[in-house]
Structure 1
Amino acid sequence: MTTRFSVIRDTTPASAITKGAVVAMGNFDGVHLGHRVVISAAIDMARKHGKPAYAVTFEPHPRSFFSPNTPQFRLSDEAEKLRLLAGTGLDGAVVMTFDGTRAGTSAQDFINHDLIGRLGISGISVGYDFHFGKGRAGSPSLLASEAPRLGIEVHIQSHVDILDRPVSSSAIRMALAEGQVTEATAMLGEPWFISSKVIHGEKRGRDLGYPTANIRLDKHCGLKHGIYAVRAGIGQGKDRVRIDGVASFGRRPTFDNGAPLLEVFLFDFKGDLYGQRPDVAFIGFIRDELKFDGIDALVRQMDDDSAKARAMLAAAPDAFPKLGIVTD
């Protein structure tokens, strides 16, 4: 049985792939509650038969391939997604490159060549609405009908409802675009987070008494511009610490109205984060981004934002994304 979360790619030799695994298949953007039920079913199936459990997922996201000119707000990039998958209890992930060749592969060929021939799966778990293969001809019902011939077990998961609506990545994106962080958290099962490198900024914050870690998010990030209560995970292993803070995401209309930037002020923290990649989890939305007439008014508002963030974080559950370590 696999003891660490490893990643299998198209370039991985067939001889290095453990046959007989049970897989959960999907795009898994955000690894939300619906995804987690599909994954749990695969893990349960695998443990019952003493087999490893893997996620089968695709990069880049198929939407990016089919609509390259349409902005795609991803809830988690590839690295974030793999860390989330590693935190679910899976033994590893199979990351299949989604390109013209894969898009043109028939569903039957995908089953026969990729799932059975290359991976040698013994079982598969999918969501009720997951489709695959050329023209999206592959479906859960096709997998179920092929199961006896292939000698595999198939689990099809119905939709999972939260807040009186089915959980989906698109619903979570919509919630984040409206600043509804608690609703997004409910559908994800844990706070939404980003992980990116701290860069040098204009250093205005330190002059105002609020030194910030500046982080450039993906240009297609659809998070609502505004002020948030956040928690940050910094460091690795036993040296990792979690620190509360307040963050602004937006264009800084009081100063330059520039490209969107996440500016994170960590409470009671002294240290140099330049070049590091903290994990920043969004706990609550405080207010919209505003333009102020002067520095004094801005600082007073920042004081008020910090107080509200502290109160919000104190009242919130001590939740943070469960992230695993990926061997790639």
Structure 2
Amino acid sequence: MERWYGSSAVPAGPGRSVVAVGNFDGVHRGHRVLLDEVVAQARSRGLRSLAVTFDPHPLQLLHPDRAPELLTGLPERLSLLEGTGLDGVVVLPFTRELAVRTPREWVTEDLVRDLGMGVAVVGHDVRFGVRNSGDLSVLHELCAALDVDVVVLDDAASQGRRWSSSWVRELLAEGDARGAAEVLGRPHRVVGEVVHGDHRGRELGYPTANLAPGAEGLVPADGVYAGWLTPLADGPGGPARSGVRAGQRRPAAVSIGTNPTFDGLQRRVEAFVLDVPDGAPLDLYGVHVRVELVERLRPTLRFDGVEELCDQMARDVREAADLLQPPGSSPSSPAT
């Protein structure tokens, strides 16, 4: 998949395109229905398939007080879009100049002239142009004059509700990682660099990978989760010395919260990798990792002492290991 930053970077040579436009935050199942149609239309017509997205999110510029916390940062969004089979993604810097483009300017210049749009794939609630003044009827009118086809899709939904990024945010705020994964079509992700923490987990026998503050991706409600940790780069000493190989997905028990047993103040995301044998090296410091959250095991609790905490951590690890076992395999306790 090609990636272009700004419409001027898109080559004109390949000809006409099938285009969908959106923020695509989280690239959830509703987005996938739309993008699957883009790819199918492009293949059937011999055109290229393009998605257009924005950075930053328009509300971050126009109404920061109303801007949602994003489910995915731009790198993860592009990574997820790459898995849809698109030929390319155009990332448009969202500026005040772009925000005041009229619906006619947006369609005729930004999409048709610059991107060669021959087919637009949209939902019934499409809005575009300055103050979202363009709607489906305006799009039909503009595209008819430009010999551009419009393909309109019905909303994709489950449980009587439309799949949406806002629904995912609600579920994550409740700690419902499994429900969020149902809407996303995959586990929710948080991505960040591993940094040094208090080393308290190591002292208790559960060394954790602490994500730096400001990790990308919405951090869900506090609690302990079963999940996966994937390094996005090899360890600093190389895979042989550090035990960290890029792309290797590892089962993990993930703690999110302030460590109330120790009167912690800073909210953290920290993951204990389950399949590391005793004494094996696992140096994740300075490595960017992806943490995927499968299911919340329990809320964050305050314990009366270290012994009670360690007993609960052992139960958490066993529960996470059993939940993450591949179908048909025998449960086993990971080394701690």
Instruction: Tell me, yes or no, if structure 1 residue 149 matches structure 2 residue 145.
Output: yes
What is the rounded CA distance, in whole Å, between the counterparts of 2:175 and 2:327 in structure 1? Answer: 17
Q: Do the aligned residues in 2 keep the contact of 1:144 with 1:154 (CA within 8 Å)?
A: yes
Greater Cα offset, 146-155 or 179-188: 146-155
Aligned pairs (5 A) from 1:222-261 = 222-235=219-232, 240-261=247-268
Match of 2:275 among 268, 280, 283: 268
Tell me how far 1:16 sits from its aligned partner: 6.0
Partner residue in 2 for 1:160: 156
User: What letter matches 2:222 in structure 1?
Assistant: H
SS in structure 1 of the partner of residue 117 of structure 2: coil
Partner residue in 2 for 1:176: 172
What is the rounded CA distance, in whole Å, between the counterparts of 2:106 and 2:60 in structure 1? Answer: 20
Partner residue in 2 for 1:304: 315
Partner residue in 2 for 1:325: none
Aligned pairs (5 A) from 1:192-207 = 192-207=188-203
Q: How many residue pairs get matched?
A: 314
SS in structure 2 of the partner of residue 293 of structure 1: coil
Q: Do the aligned residues in 1 keep the contact of 2:104 with 2:142 (CA within 8 Å)?
A: no
What is the rounded CA distance, in whole Å, between the counterparts of 1:26 and 1:179 in structure 2? Answer: 27
Instruction: Tell me, yes or no, if structure 1 residue 286 matches structure 2 residue 328.
Output: no
User: What letter matches 2:285 in structure 1?
Assistant: Y
Q: Do the aligned residues in 1 keep the contact of 2:12 with 2:116 (CA within 8 Å)?
A: no
Tell me how far 1:240 sits from its aligned partner: 2.5
What is the rounded CA distance, in whole Å, between the counterparts of 1:317 and 1:130 in structure 2? Answer: 45
What is the rounded CA distance, in whole Å, between the counterparts of 2:262 and 2:68 in structure 1? Answer: 28
- 1:245-284 Cα offsets, whole Å, 9 max, x none, are 1000111112243222100000122411111112211111
Partner residue in 1 for 2:333: none
Tell me how far 1:140 sits from its aligned partner: 3.0
Q: Do the aligned residues in 2 keep the contact of 1:191 with 1:283 (CA within 8 Å)?
A: yes
Compared with structure 1, are the counterparts of its residues 244 and 92 closer, same or farther at alpha carbon in structure 2 (3 Å cutoff)?
same
Tell me how far 1:14 sits from its aligned partner: 5.5
Compared with structure 1, are the counterparts of its residues 152 and 100 closer, same or farther at alpha carbon in structure 2 (3 Å cutoff)?
same
Partner residue in 1 for 2:22: 26
Q: CA RMSD in A?
A: 2.3
Instruction: Tell me, yes or no, if structure 1 residue 68 matches structure 2 residue 64.
Output: yes
User: What letter matches 2:50 in structure 1?
Assistant: Y
Match of 2:206 among 183, 191, 210: 210
Q: Do the aligned residues in 1 keep the contact of 2:15 with 2:116 (CA within 8 Å)?
A: yes
Greater Cα offset, 117-126 or 307-316: 307-316
Q: Do the aligned residues in 1 keep the contact of 2:232 with 2:290 (CA within 8 Å)?
A: no
SS in structure 1 of the partner of residue 109 of structure 2: helix
SS in structure 1 of the partner of residue 33 of structure 2: helix
Q: Do the aligned residues in 2 keep the contact of 1:173 with 1:222 (CA within 8 Å)?
A: no
User: What letter matches 1:231 in structure 2?
Assistant: W
Q: TM-score, normalised by structure 1?
A: 0.89
Instruction: Tell me, yes or no, if structure 1 residue 116 matches structure 2 residue 127.
Output: no
What is the rounded CA distance, in whole Å, between the counterparts of 1:92 and 1:158 in structure 2? Answer: 24
- Look at both structures and tell me which one has the larger radius of gyration over its CA atoms: 2
Compared with structure 1, are the counterparts of its residues 92 and 15 closer, same or farther at alpha carbon in structure 2 (3 Å cutoff)?
closer
What is the rounded CA distance, in whole Å, between the counterparts of 2:171 and 2:38 in structure 1? Answer: 28
SS in structure 2 of the partner of residue 196 of structure 1: strand
Q: Do the aligned residues in 2 keep the contact of 1:21 with 1:122 (CA within 8 Å)?
A: yes
SS in structure 2 of the partner of residue 230 of structure 1: strand
Give ranges in structure 2 of 5+ residues lacking alignment: 235-244, 330-336
Q: Do the aligned residues in 1 keep the contact of 2:7 with 2:92 (CA within 8 Å)?
A: no
Q: TM-score, normalised by structure 2?
A: 0.87
What is the rounded CA distance, in whole Å, between the counterparts of 2:95 and 2:328 in structure 1? Answer: 41
Give percent identity, aligned residues only: 35
Greater Cα offset, 165-174 or 232-241: 232-241
What is the rounded CA distance, in whole Å, between the counterparts of 1:14 and 1:183 in structure 2? Answer: 38
What is the rounded CA distance, in whole Å, between the counterparts of 2:135 and 2:311 in structure 1? Answer: 56
Give ranges in structure 1 of 5+ residues lacking alignment: 319-328
- 1:96-123 Cα offsets, whole Å, 9 max, x none, are 1111111111111111110011111111
Instruction: Tell me, yes or no, if structure 1 residue 55 matches structure 2 residue 69.
Output: no
Compared with structure 1, are the counterparts of its residues 243 and 181 closer, same or farther at alpha carbon in structure 2 (3 Å cutoff)?
same
